[in-house]
């Protein structure tokens, strides 16, 4: 690929330094994705300009008009401190007729709401956990069809925010308490879904029309279940490097899956990707129950792509090194713009 001018959009707190020297692992963890993307693209010879954006759209427009990027690499996961506004940034870039990386606006909307994505995927005869939504300022009453235990989450936040061992509830009283926690502390509606005991599997998908499905990846919980804890991807499991190291939590290729089951899960990931209108790149999350049923949990368009994260490690395992992965993501954004195809 020729030398490009690339504007990288990110949260202002995540604008990375030029070097990681002198920073702790915890500090680096906060901006590792931004650092990896910016430094890798620069090393590939591109002219890269990071821009922190959160409350004003004008700086984005000014950079587009002044810097004249060939493509915008968007790492923004929120705007005005609202995660549901990420689709508006993609829409704005489309209105500015600037190629951008990652998912189109419609795919972001369909994947963001866990209830809507599950409903659409279930309509395609793919297994999903039974669930119910509890809106803000409504009384919590569990539908009779929804059997305990349940896991309670934010309806539209990802990254395991608000998820802890207390998220799994086995009584109606605990359900009401956890829904109240989501409403008051997280500030969103809550979704309570059937808790699937089993393995946590991730499948990366890359592409717009022709799709490349990455190997089935597994989050391995180490010694986490030793003291009666449920093996779920809590905030600490996802974001606390010292906790991960202490318990031996790591991700890697899913072992002991038959080729038939592995292929089936990859085909399901591809069907889900298309059902939700995703493009660019996304990670599809499953729980694999003891009877071998893969349950769709959620889709994550524009997932974390730090070198150490599941998407990049699975791509490397599949023969796609990190610089090549980023080049592929850039090429997908540019080719979508050239094709004049917007799903938004």
Q: Tens digits of per-residue pLDDT, 99-130?
A: 999 999 999 999 988 999 999 999 999 999 99
Query: How do residues 280-338 score in pLDDT, each as one tens digit?
Result: 999 999 999 999 999 999 999 999 999 999 999 999 999 999 999 999 999 999 999 98
Please, is 233 exposed, middle or buried when counting C-beta atoms within 10 Å of its C-beta (0-12, 13-18, 19+)?
A: middle
Per-residue pLDDT at 230: 86
* Rg, the chain, Cα only: 20
CA dist 50 and 279 (Å) reads: 23
Helix (H) or strand (E) holding 47: strand 47-52
Do you find a cis peptide bond into 313, omega within 30 degrees of 0? no
pLDDT of residue 8: 98
Q: For 123-171, what is each residue's pLDDT tens digit?
A: 999 999 999 999 998 889 999 999 999 999 999 887 677 788 889 999 9
Q: What gap in Å lies between CA 23 and CA 321, rounded to an integer?
A: 26
Q: How confident is the model at residue 341 (pLDDT cuts 50, 70, 90)?
A: very low
> Distance between CA atoms of 164 and 294, rounded to whole angstroms?
23
Mean pLDDT for 8-23 is 92
Residue 231's pLDDT band (cuts 50, 70, 90)? confident
Per the DSSP assignment, residues forming a β-bridge with 49 are 7
H/E segment holding residue 172: helix 172-181
pLDDT at 47: 98
Q: Please tell me the predicted confidence (pLDDT) of residue 136.
A: 93
Please report where in the chains the tokens 């409903």 appear, as a residue: 119
Q: Is 45 left (phi over 0), alpha (psi -120 to 50) or beta?
A: left
pLDDT over threshold 90, residue 254: yes
CA dist 48 and 215 (Å) reads: 30
**Cβ atoms within 10 Å, residue 297:** 23
Strands 71-74 and 5-10: parallel
- Rounded to the nearest integer, the mean pLDDT of the chain is 92
Q: For residue 5, what are its two tokens?
A: 């001018």
pLDDT band at 43 (very low <50, low <70, confident <90, very high): very high
> Which residues are within 8 A (CB) of 95 and not within 5 positions of it... i.e. 6 or more apart?
none
């Amino acid at each position: 690929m020729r030398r490009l001018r690339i504007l990288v959009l990110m949260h202002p707190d995540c604008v990375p330094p030029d070097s990681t020297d002198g920073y702790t692992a915890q500090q680096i963890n906060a901006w590792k994705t931004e650092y990896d993307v910016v430094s890798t693209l620069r090393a590939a010879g591109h002219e890269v300009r990071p821009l922190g954006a959160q409350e004003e759209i004008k700086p984005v427009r000014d950079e587009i008009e002044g810097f004249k990027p060939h493509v915008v690499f968007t790492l923004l996961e929120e705007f005005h401190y609202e995660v549901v506004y990420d689709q508006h940034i993609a829409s704005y870039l489309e209105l500015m007729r600037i190629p951008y990386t990652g998912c189109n606006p419609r795919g972001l909307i369909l994947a963001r709401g866990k209830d809507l994505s599950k409903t659409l995927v279930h309509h395609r005869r793919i297994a999903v956990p039974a669930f119910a939504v509890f809106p803000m300022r409504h009384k919590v009453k569990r539908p009779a069809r929804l059997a305990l235990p349940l896991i309670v989450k934010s309806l539209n936040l990802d990254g395991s925010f608000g998820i802890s061992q207390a998220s799994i509830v086995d009584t109606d009283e605990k359900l009401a308490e956890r829904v109240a926690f989501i409403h008051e502390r997280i500030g969103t509606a809550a979704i309570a879904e059937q808790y699937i005991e089993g393995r946590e599997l991730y499948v990366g998908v890359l592409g717009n029309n022709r799709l490349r499905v990455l190997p089935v990846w597994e989050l391995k919980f180490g010694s986490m279940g030793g003291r009666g804890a449920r093996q779920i991807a809590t905030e600490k499991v996802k974001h606390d490097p010292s906790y991960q190291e202490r318990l031996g939590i790591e991700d890697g290729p899913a072992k002991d899956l038959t080729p038939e089951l592995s292929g089936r899960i990859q085909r399901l990931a591809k069907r889900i990707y298309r059902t939700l209108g995703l493009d660019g790149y996304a990670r599809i999350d499953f729980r694999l129950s003891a009877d071998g049923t893969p349950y769709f949990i959620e889709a994550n368009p524009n997932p974390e792509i730090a070198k150490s994260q599941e998407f990049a490690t699975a791509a490397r395992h599949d023969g796609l090194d990190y610089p090549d992965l980023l080049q592929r993501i850039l090429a997908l954004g540019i080719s979508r713009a050239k094709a004049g195809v917007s799903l938004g």
